[in-house]
């Protein structure tokens, strides 16, 4: 078995999209956290997946059948990624953040993309839970996405075309 540090170093070299996953509680309060494990899972039906730490404060609000929003952050939204990655005490991560409701879910304007759907199921993944989401709404934009690799934020740059 490999040691934890080797695994963490290996995975830091895998570029990942930066998203803020959101939900609304029964009393209307917004919840959200930064997630860098969003992946396309299926085209038919349209499914995506992402993983949450078992200790995530968002996880209790994303049980099978619950609705979920995924804000795919743009390259200009690095600050939002940091804001939603922090653990908060008594305050809300949405304090001081521009947001609105979209399809009943917290939405961050000017994101590089948006999708919403319902949690179809949970899959055990060690210290994380993989959430499978059936996509019901999607809006791509031409904005450059925010990417995380080697412990820094960046974005994608196409390679020059060979002549």
Domains along the chain?
17-149 (2.30.110.10)
Per-residue pLDDT tens for 106-151?
999 999 999 999 999 999 999 999 999 999 999 999 999 999 999 9
Distance CA 130, CA 54 (A): 10
Q: Supply the pLDDT for residue 135.
A: 98
Those residues whose C-beta lies under 8 Å from the C-beta of residue 63, and which sit 6 or more positions away, are 119, 122
Half-sphere exposure of residue 158: CA atoms within 13 angstroms, side-chain side: 4
- As a whole number of angstroms, the distance between CA 158 and CA 163 comes to 15
Burial (CB count <10 Å: 0-12, 13-18, 19+), residue 78 = middle
Residue 81 has phi, psi (to 5 degrees) of -60, -45
Contact (CB, 8 A) for 51 and 30: no
Q: Which parts of the chain have pLDDT scores under 70?
A: 88-90, 163
pLDDT at 161: 78
What's the pLDDT at 160? Answer: 85
């Amino acid at each position: 078995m490999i040691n934890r540090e080797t695994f963490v170093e290996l995975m830091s070299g895998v570029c990942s999209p930066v998203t803020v996953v959101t939900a609304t509680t029964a009393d209307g309060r917004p919840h959200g956290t930064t997630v860098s494990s969003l992946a396309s899972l299926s085209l038919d039906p349209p499914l995506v997946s992402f993983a949450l730490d078992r200790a995530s404060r968002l996880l209790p609000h994303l049980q099978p059948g619950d609705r979920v929003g995924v804000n795919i952050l743009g390259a200009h939204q690095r600050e939002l990624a940091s804001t939603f990655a922090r653990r908060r005490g008594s305050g809300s991560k949405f304090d001081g953040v521009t947001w609105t409701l979209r399809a009943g879910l917290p939405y961050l304007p000017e994101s590089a993309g948006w999708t919403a759907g319902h949690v179809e199921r949970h899959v055990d993944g060690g210290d994380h839970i993989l959430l499978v989401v059936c996509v019901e709404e999607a809006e791509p934009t031409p904005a450059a996405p925010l990417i995380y690799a080697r412990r820094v934020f960046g974005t994608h740059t196409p390679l020059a075309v060979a002549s």
